[in-house]
């Protein structure tokens, strides 16, 4: 998959859209600083989900920057393998979140996508010896059997797809 828009009309994939009207400075920041991501719900044989804390977003599904034109599936597979140290197989996309940021009073807009995929469950609780994201050490990487209480908003919705 190279373009999340390809998933728009699939019956088994939730496709959410939202638009935010933002001022000039915020628009520039969104355009320059926000990335699209592919998030992966990795579960294990104990029905736990792997969550990461990169130091800025709190606990989230494992997520990796991706842009239209990238191979999002390969990005997700390679990213998860770098965190857990074992190969992972992706099952299917679960949700796409398209977020448009429109510059107030103009037609200018920038779009990001967050695609949530399900991985085939893994055995045990694997974690790589030195998990990194984009060359930076992660603050934390753990297996959870419930949604951490400090999580909120769309992050909770994403994690809930994988925790019973």
pLDDT digits (tens, 9 = 90+) for 63-98: 999 988 899 999 999 999 999 999 999 988 999 999
Q: What is the pLDDT of residues 97-146, one digit of tens each?
A: 999 999 999 999 999 999 999 999 999 998 877 776 777 766 789 999 99
Q: Residue 51: its pLDDT value, please?
A: 96
Say whether domain 4-125+141-160 belongs to CATH 3.90.79.
yes
Which pLDDT tens digit goes with each residue over 24-59?
A: 999 999 999 899 999 999 999 999 999 998 777 889
DSSP 3-state percent helix, strand, coil across the chain (nearest 5): 20, 40, 40
Domain locations in the chain as residue ranges: 4-125+141-160
Neighbours of 20 (CB within 10 A): 13
Looking up tokens 């699209």, which residue turns up?
36
Q: How confident is the model at residue 1 (pLDDT cuts 50, 70, 90)?
A: confident
Tokens 């679960």 belong to residue:
94
Q: Could you tell me if 146 and 67 are in contact, meaning their C-beta atoms sit under 8 angstroms apart?
A: no
Question: Which runs of consecutive H residues, i.e. helices, occur in the chain?
Answer: 24-33, 72-84, 154-160
């Amino acid at each position: 998959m190279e373009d999340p828009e390809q998933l728009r009309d699939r019956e088994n994939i939730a496709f959410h859209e939202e638009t935010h009207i933002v001022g000039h400075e915020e628009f520039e920041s969104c355009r320059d600083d926000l990335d699209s991501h592919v998030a992966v719900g990795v579960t294990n044989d104990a029905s736990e989900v792997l969550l990461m804390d990169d130091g800025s977003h709190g606990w989230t599904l494992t997520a990796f920057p991706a842009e239209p034109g990238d191979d999002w599936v390969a990005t997700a597979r390679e990213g998860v393998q770098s965190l857990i140290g074992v190969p992972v197989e992706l099952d299917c996309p679960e949700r796409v979140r398209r977020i448009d940021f429109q510059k107030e009073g103009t037609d200018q807009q920038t779009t990001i996508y967050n695609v949530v995929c399900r991985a085939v469950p893994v055995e045990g609780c694997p974690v790589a010896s030195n998990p990194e994201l984009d060359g930076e050490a992660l603050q934390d990487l753990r297996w959870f059997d419930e949604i951490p209480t400090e999580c909120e908003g769309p992050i909770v919705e994403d994690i809930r797809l994988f925790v019973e």
